[in-house]
Amino acid sequence: MRALKIILIIVSLLIIIIFLSAMHQISMMNAPSSFTTIMYTIMGVLIFLSAANILYHIKSFRFYRGNKRQRLYKKLHKIFWVIGFVFPVFLFVLLSFSVYGNSVRFANGYYNSGEVAFTIILFIVSIVEFIETLQLQKRIKKLRETHDIKKEIDDIGEIN
């Protein structure tokens, strides 16, 4: 799971780079201002959520360390949990709208294979991100239960 977290951090960095590049490309176009405003807003939110998602992965990485370095007493702030769920949901919804909006073009055979591959990869990333966040919550709960049981067992042998 540690390797998965590192891969998800790298993918989030790539999303930031790709969409910053796309924002630069849009700024070079002579598109209507309403279009550019909407695109800048969507891409800005995606870049912000991707950067926040990187912070979530860095902050939650400690739960995949060895037993002595997990620091279970430190809780992951709720905002990181929210970001852990909001980023993949936002990405999934954004891609769903993109596929729906381009469905006629895809049905008529006017599509770029790179565009389709990029969309499929991002769908997979959004699903994996969501599942990873759910699994991390379960892992933390199990680790805390195990820690509490070990602490109770250690306390039994102590004389007050």
Indicate if the pLDDT at residue 67 is higher than 80: no
Examine the pLDDT at 82 and tell me if it is beyond 80: yes
Average pLDDT over residues 42-61: 93
Give yes or no for residue 160 having a pLDDT over 60. Answer: no
Helix%, strand%, coil% for the chain, nearest 5: 85, 0, 15
User: What local confidence, expressed as pLDDT, does residue 68 receive?
Assistant: 65
pTM for this predicted structure? 0.81
Asked whether the predicted pLDDT for residue 88 surpasses 90, the reply is yes
Say which amino acid occupies 25.
Answer: Q
